[in-house]
Amino acid sequence: MEPNDNKPATGVRARTPRLLLVDDEPMLQFTLRLMLEEFFEVVVADSGDQARAIIEAEPRFDVVLSDLQMPGGSGQDLHLWATQARPELAGRFIFMTGGACSESARAFLARGDVTSVEKPFEFDALLNVIAKLTQTTGAQAVTA
């Protein structure tokens, strides 16, 4: 049996990274949750407004994986709020988009400080984006 490289040498178990998944599409939400639970403690929100309430109650997240356009509070609105209310989370967002429709959304995604993935995406590609983000932000890293 090979040693587990993810465990600290002291024998103390590393904290499971937390991910907030924000998407209004039930099938995508279900599928992503199942796949991500191998690597994260996953908390799910159906809208930006619900995600905001979750963050207000429990703000410790290593990654916020959010759809960009949703009814009930967009991902862009959630990020704007987080930038002001929880600035430590602002750099931990990854936006999923099937194509930004509005000029405002396109400009938002074009910013240098916004990370996004285009739907449909491969799961391994998403994990790579998450790993790069966590290395940049110093958040709990994910290893596959």
Mean pLDDT, rounded, for 14-28: 93
- Residue 17 pLDDT level (bands cut at 50, 70, 90): very high
The pLDDT of 4-19, averaged and rounded, is 65
More confident residue, 69 or 8: 69
Residue with the larger pLDDT of the pair 31 and 110: 31
Three-state DSSP state, 112: coil
Of 3.40.1390.10, 3.40.50.2300, 3.60.110.10, 3.30.200.20, which CATH number belongs to 18-135?
3.40.50.2300
129-133: which pairs have CB atoms within 8 A and are 24 or more residues apart? 129/94, 130/19, 130/63, 130/65, 130/94, 133/63, 133/91, 133/92, 133/94
